Structure 1
Amino acid sequence: MDAREYLEILHVAERLKDTPRHCTTTKRRTESVAEHSWRISLMAFLLRHEFKDIDINKVVDMCLIHDLGECFTGDIPTFVKTDSDREVEDSLLNQWVKTLPAELSEDLAALYKEMDAQETKEAKLYKSLDKLEALIQHNESPLDTWSENEFELNKTYAFDTVAFSSWLTELREAILEDTMKKIEGDNKNWELLR
């Protein structure tokens, strides 16, 4: 890949910095898709000693690229995203990936195929972190920024996704504990973050 091709890839990826997500930050700012991708990548990196049988570098790669399709479609919250939305996003992403230098295109295509199949431990860990980060962000955001359906969704979301791992199940239960405290009005800890 030459320098110009490299820059063009970065220019497309930069769109994620300006692509808003459904969640807000602790200080009420709408977060970007890039911020979400960064944090799930950090979450994966921090687990390298907890999941010694998993290729954490591959999980970090998955986390970094998982929302690149939103460069073309924007973010659609999971609870309103349709199969048609997913097809459009996947199609546009695949078209773009095919235009990239051959080795990079092959690397990305292989990762996306593994991520979609959800058969490897790496793919399952990436998907779990993607969902858990959204829950953590909701717990960090002011309660009045939640949409009505999130009060119930934050109690149930992702338990099935993390079921393959006792460590992730424990993390999900800790997130639920924080959710319940937040909903029940124990906002002391969250106020300290502001």
Structure 2
Amino acid sequence: MPVDRILGALEFLREAERLKDVLRSGHTSSGRPESVAEHSWRLCLMALVFADEFESIDALRLIKLCIVHDLGEALGGDIPAILQSEGTNKAAQERADLKVLTKALHPAKRVEILALWEEYESAATPEAIIAKGLDKLETILQHNQGQNPSDFDYAFNLGYGLKQTAAHPLLAKIRAVLDEETRARAEGSKAV
């Protein structure tokens, strides 16, 4: 690999490091805000853990989709689902930010990352459909596991990502388990 490609890759990785500081609406089990990087890491881990249960899925492609799905948020930040409105074009902003973020990469690698993001965004393949479902499930899992503020809206999760998590029988089974946990957390938060 030529030195200029190494330098471009390192510049991209330095910029992508920003995801470690972009915070999400959920909290970790210790009570601190979760970062986008942490969410993406556990999403990839979920994909690895469940990949063998999805028939005819390319596990490496699934994990690649999970890795790139929120990369654009390194520049524009995260907009929690509960705050997204009908007129908000989150995807357009993430696409534009991802183009800026990947500008230092070798053109072939840049095209690959942008194509993976587009595949995820459009749910164009079985792997992208599964990645989108797992993304919603990881969010719900974190909300249920996290030490959230007392006014955290657990009920929101019961309607969150229903379409994506209904796309495969395993996703639906995981969803059913997490919905029960969500109901228990919602009831527990009312009792406090």
Q: Figure out how many residues of one structure are paired with residues of the other and give that number.
A: 184
Using the TM superposition, give the Cα deviation of residue 118 of structure 1 relative to its aligned residue in structure 2, in angstroms: 1.0
Distance 1:152 1:185, change over 3 A: closer
* Alignment partner, residue 182 of structure 1: 185
* Alignment partner, residue 90 of structure 1: 95
Q: Distance in 1 between matches of 2:148 and 2:90?
A: 28
TM-score relative to the length of structure 2: 0.88
Unaligned runs of 5+ in 2: none
The answer (yes or no) to whether the contact 1:19–1:75 under 8 Å persists in 2 is yes
Q: Distance in 2 between matches of 1:161 and 1:99?
A: 33
The AA in structure 2 aligned to 1:156 is G
Equivalent residue for 2:105, pick from 100, 103, 111: 100
* Alignment partner, residue 110 of structure 1: 115
Using the TM superposition, give the Cα deviation of residue 100 of structure 1 relative to its aligned residue in structure 2, in angstroms: 2.0
The answer (yes or no) to whether the contact 2:24–2:36 under 8 Å persists in 1 is yes
Q: How big is each residue's C-alpha offset from its partner over 1:81-118, in whole Å with a ceiling of 9 and x where there is no partner? A: 35244322321212333542111012112212211221
Unaligned runs of 5+ in 1: 187-194
Distance 1:24 1:146, change over 3 A: farther
Using the TM superposition, give the Cα deviation of residue 178 of structure 1 relative to its aligned residue in structure 2, in angstroms: 0.7
Q: Distance in 1 between matches of 2:14 and 2:103?
A: 17
Q: Distance in 1 between matches of 2:94 and 2:124?
A: 22
* Alignment partner, residue 17 of structure 2: 14
Q: Distance in 1 between matches of 2:188 and 2:133?
A: 27
The answer (yes or no) to whether the contact 2:44–2:63 under 8 Å persists in 1 is yes
Write out the 4+ residue segments of structure 1 that deviate beyond 6 Å after TM superposition.
Answer: none
User: Which stretch shows the higher mean deviation, 1-10 or 102-111?
Assistant: 1-10
* Alignment partner, residue 81 of structure 1: 84
Distance 1:89 1:113, change over 3 A: closer
Using the TM superposition, give the Cα deviation of residue 140 of structure 1 relative to its aligned residue in structure 2, in angstroms: 0.6
Q: Distance in 2 between matches of 1:184 and 1:30?
A: 22
User: Which stretch shows the higher mean deviation, 120-129 or 154-163?
Assistant: 154-163
Distance 1:92 1:102, change over 3 A: same
Q: Distance in 1 between matches of 2:123 and 2:137?
A: 16
The answer (yes or no) to whether the contact 2:12–2:102 under 8 Å persists in 1 is no
TM-score relative to the length of structure 1: 0.87
* Alignment partner, residue 50 of structure 1: 53
* Alignment partner, residue 146 of structure 2: 141
Distance 1:67 1:52, change over 3 A: same
The answer (yes or no) to whether the contact 2:24–2:35 under 8 Å persists in 1 is yes
Q: How big is each residue's C-alpha offset from its partner over 1:18-62, in whole Å with a ceiling of 9 and x where there is no partner? A: 111111011101111100000000000111220131111111011
Equivalent residue for 1:152, pick from 149, 152, 155: 155
Percent identical pairs in the alignment equals 36
